[in-house]
């Protein structure tokens, strides 16, 4: 066994034992605006049409073990649905150190829309999911197995878990307020969500319990349009390229198992190009902080069809993880604005429901 593999196993073991004592915490995405239903199921169907999102995050690149997280979601906003909200699915996977510990989550989201006025709506969401947590115990190497002279030759005295795989249900709830002014030059959302509502037991040992801690999320963001028309100095034959400059400031706060994290910053969109900068802090003594820089591009391949690609890089600025290296994150977002499964999806409700319907339909950033 070479030095790299030994180091990787020791890192995995230490992280696993630490997580077992402190209970686990969910992975976090820098581009939370591209994984909205991951943080709040109320985003399901918030905008009309179909949106499919894929995100990949590779964390702590300099460590002998890295953490890779994958997330996929697809949600449909259709105002002809009962409740005028949306339906969605989500799949997430998380590898903790050379794949020795893996999580897989598959869930269904439902959104219900409640209009409040011509410029404000509320939406509520529920997530129902199953989580499978897998432990590859046979690949672990413990400290008591090593001989100073001969290396790994002894059997371990560490207690073997009763099972290597565990599947359990998980639920989350959330709510959102969405606002838009009369000319749609400013729109925004604010919301609150609770994940792991019933704190399911994720322990591999029958003699002990490890409840998955609840996660509380508060978030807000705005899209501000600078100007009222198109840019005359650019080739407007490229759809979206002549749109006015848009600002997208935002903030997300999370609390899970006594750990508080906050992230705030802003993205810009002009000429179909995204640029952004975000600051992240763990809000504790000797807190870890990071600066995230983002770039991306949006391409239209139809009147209401587009694809977005975004890349961000986290630079550790302070805290114990400064030497762990940066984190890479990639997102792809496919949008089909007019897609409907239950009739025409033109933003108008049937006449019989018009008095309960708000015309607000904020475009995504």
CA pair distance 222, 190, nearest whole angstrom: 9
- Residue 336: pLDDT above 80? yes
Residue 352: left (phi > 0), alpha (psi -120 to 50), or beta?
alpha
pTM of the full structure? 0.84
Which two tokens mark 333?
């977002």
Residue 219 burial class via C-beta count within 10 angstroms: exposed 0-12, middle 13-18, buried 19 and up: buried
Q: What is the pLDDT of residue 322?
A: 60
**Residue 363: inside a domain, yes or no?**
no
**Residue 248: inside a domain, yes or no?**
yes
Reported confidence tier of residue 361, pLDDT bands at 50, 70, 90: confident
Q: Which residue has the tokens 């198109």?
A: 230
**Residue 361: inside a domain, yes or no?**
no
**Mean pLDDT (the chain, rounded):** 81
The domain of 114 spans: 3-356
Query: Cβ(147)–Cβ(155) under 8 Å?
Result: no
Query: Could you give the number of structural domains in the chain?
Result: 1
The CATH number assigned to the domain holding 225 equals 2.40.160.40
**Residue 13: inside a domain, yes or no?**
yes
**Residue 24: inside a domain, yes or no?**
yes
- Residue 22: pLDDT above 70? no
CA pair distance 206, 21, nearest whole angstrom: 16
**Residue 313: inside a domain, yes or no?**
yes
| pLDDT tens track for 108-156 | 999 999 988 888 999 999 999 999 988 877 667 767 667 777 776 667 7
| pLDDT tens track for 174-205 | 999 999 887 878 999 999 999 999 999 988 87
Cα-to-chain-centroid distance, residue 225: 25
Least confident of 109-113, 183-187, 268-272, 308-312: 183-187
**Residue 362: inside a domain, yes or no?**
no
**Residue 70: inside a domain, yes or no?**
yes
| pLDDT tens track for 26-74 | 889 999 999 999 999 999 999 888 999 999 998 877 776 668 899 999 9
- Which positions ≥6 away from 226 have C-beta within 8 Å? 244, 245, 246, 247
């Amino acid at each position: 066994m070479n030095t790299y593999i030994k180091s990787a196993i020791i890192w995995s073991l230490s992280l696993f034992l630490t997580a077992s004592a402190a209970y686990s915490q969910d992975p976090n995405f820098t581009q939370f605006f591209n994984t909205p239903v991951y943080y709040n199921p109320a985003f399901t169907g918030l905008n009309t049409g179909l949106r499919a999102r894929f995100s990949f995050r590779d964390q702590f690149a300099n460590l002998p073990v890295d953490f890779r997280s994958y997330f996929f979601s697809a949600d449909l906003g259709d105002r002809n649905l009962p409740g005028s909200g949306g339906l969605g699915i989500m799949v997430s996977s998380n590898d903790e150190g050379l794949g020795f510990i893996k999580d897989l989550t598959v869930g269904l989201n439902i959104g219900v829309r409640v209009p409040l006025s011509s410029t404000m709506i509320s939406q509520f969401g529920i997530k129902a999911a199953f989580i499978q947590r897998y432990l590859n115990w046979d690949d672990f190497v413990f400290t008591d197995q090593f001989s100073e002279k001969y290396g790994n030759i002894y059997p371990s005295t560490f207690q073997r878990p009763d099972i290597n795989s565990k599947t359990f249900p998980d639920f989350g709830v959330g709510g959102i307020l969405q606002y838009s002014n009369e000319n749609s030059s400013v729109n925004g959302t604010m919301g609150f969500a609770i994940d792991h509502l019933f704190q399911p037991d994720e322990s591999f040992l029958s003699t002990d319990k490890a409840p998955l801690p609840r996660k509380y999320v508060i978030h807000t963001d705005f899209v501000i349009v600078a100007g009222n028309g198109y840019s005359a100095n650019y080739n407007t034959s490229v759809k979206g390229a002549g749109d006015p400059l848009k600002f997208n400031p935002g903030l997300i706060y999370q609390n899970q198992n006594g750990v508080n994290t906050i992230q705030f910053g802003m993205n810009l969109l002009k000429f179909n190009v995204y640029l952004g900068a975000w600051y992240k802090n763990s809000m504790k003594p000797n807190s870890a902080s990071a600066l995230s820089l983002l770039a991306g591009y949006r391409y239209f391949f139809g009147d209401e069809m587009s694809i977005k690609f975004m890349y961000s890089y986290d630079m550790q600025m302070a805290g114990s993880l400064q030497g762990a290296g940066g984190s890479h994150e990639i997102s792809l977002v496919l949008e089909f604005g007019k897609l409907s499964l239950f009739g025409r999806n033109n933003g108008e409700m049937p006449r019989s429901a018009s008095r309960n319907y708000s015309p607000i339909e904020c475009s995504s950033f």
